[in-house]
Amino acid sequence: WIRERSGIAERRWVEPGTSGTALALAASRMALDDAGIAPEELDVIIYATLNPDYAFPGNGPLLQHALGLRETGALDVRNQCTGFVYGVAVADGLIRAGTARTVLVVGAEVHSTGLDVSTRGRDVAVLFGDGAGAAVLRATDEDRGVAASVLHSQGEFARELWCELPTALIPGRWDDAAAAAGRQYPRMNGRAVFQHAIRRFGEAIEEVLAKGGVAKEDVALFIPHQANQRITEMVTRRLEAPPERVYANIERYGNTTAASIPIALSEARREGRVERGDWVVLVAFGSGFTWGANLIRL
């Protein structure tokens, strides 16, 4: 049933006690090594997650410290599945403004400790896995980098995919009766999310290509957020693209929200699916509702 509905065959869940920061640290070191950049060269860290280790502070400063840095700027992006796309857009803006030259963008999630694994929560719990991915953006005079980004949200649908507890709306931020009803676990209107995702994925891709002045035929690889294999397949049909030009790895990892795109991008590079100079589109849709896309020349 899980495979038929989502395309997921495997997921990774952390060992008890493993933090999102620990996953992010491993991914960040891989990205920095791949880029040939020392942590000390970073000007800003952007950490995308819906599951920070603590209510506050955010995980950005925790990762900054774990990397052995003293005063490097760090911030969190809380845009759930769209977090990495938003993070890339923010990093690009900082670089273009001259505020930063080298930015680390991380997507990392530990879902497993916050899922209802009873029959009551199975519709959501079967989808999500733990993981992390990262990328380094740096100012350059070459004809490379982020050519365009588009970012959108529609808060009227916020409660179609959300987690209610803890909440700042009540003293103590917790309600025992609500918790007994499972309202501390993520809830989703699957049909609504599916219908909106199919539409918004396609719109965001078309919009970012138009903004960047690039034809879809010139894109080497489209990397969508790994939410559901059926969504990916429908987006592929809308693009009229061969399946090999739309990356999919949800079968192995499930939905890792903010981590899914950087994990896929990293794997695509290692597999030789993209090379320096190729056009790549990153696109995501998720809770909020939020959605967006980045057009990048590697």
Cα–Cα nearest to 106, from 43, 42, 58, 63: 63
Is the peptide bond preceding residue 289 cis, with omega within 30 degrees of 0?
A: yes
CB 46 within 8 A of CB 90: yes
163 catalytic? Reply is: no
CB 280 within 8 A of CB 298: yes
Number of Cα atoms under 13 Å in the Cβ half of residue 220: 15
Cα–Cα nearest to 120, from 186, 22, 27: 186
Catalytic residue among 51, 59, 249, 255: 255
Three-state DSSP class for residue 192: helix
81 catalytic? Reply is: yes
152 catalytic? Reply is: no
Catalytic residue among 225, 228, 249, 294: 225
Catalytic residue among 51, 59, 79, 81: 81
Within the chain, strands assigned E span 44-48, 73-77, 102-109, 131-138, 145-153, 161-162, 187-188, 219-224, 279-286, 290-297
**β-sheet with 290-297: strand ranges across:** 145-153, 290-297, 279-286, 219-224
* Helix 190-212 × helix 229-239 angle, to 10°: 40
Interacting residues of 184 by C-beta distance below 8 A, sequence separation 6+? 114, 163, 164, 165, 166, 178
Per-position b or e across 87-96, b if 16+ CB within 10 A of its CB = bbbbbbebbe
Which residues are identified as catalytic? Answer: 81, 225, 255
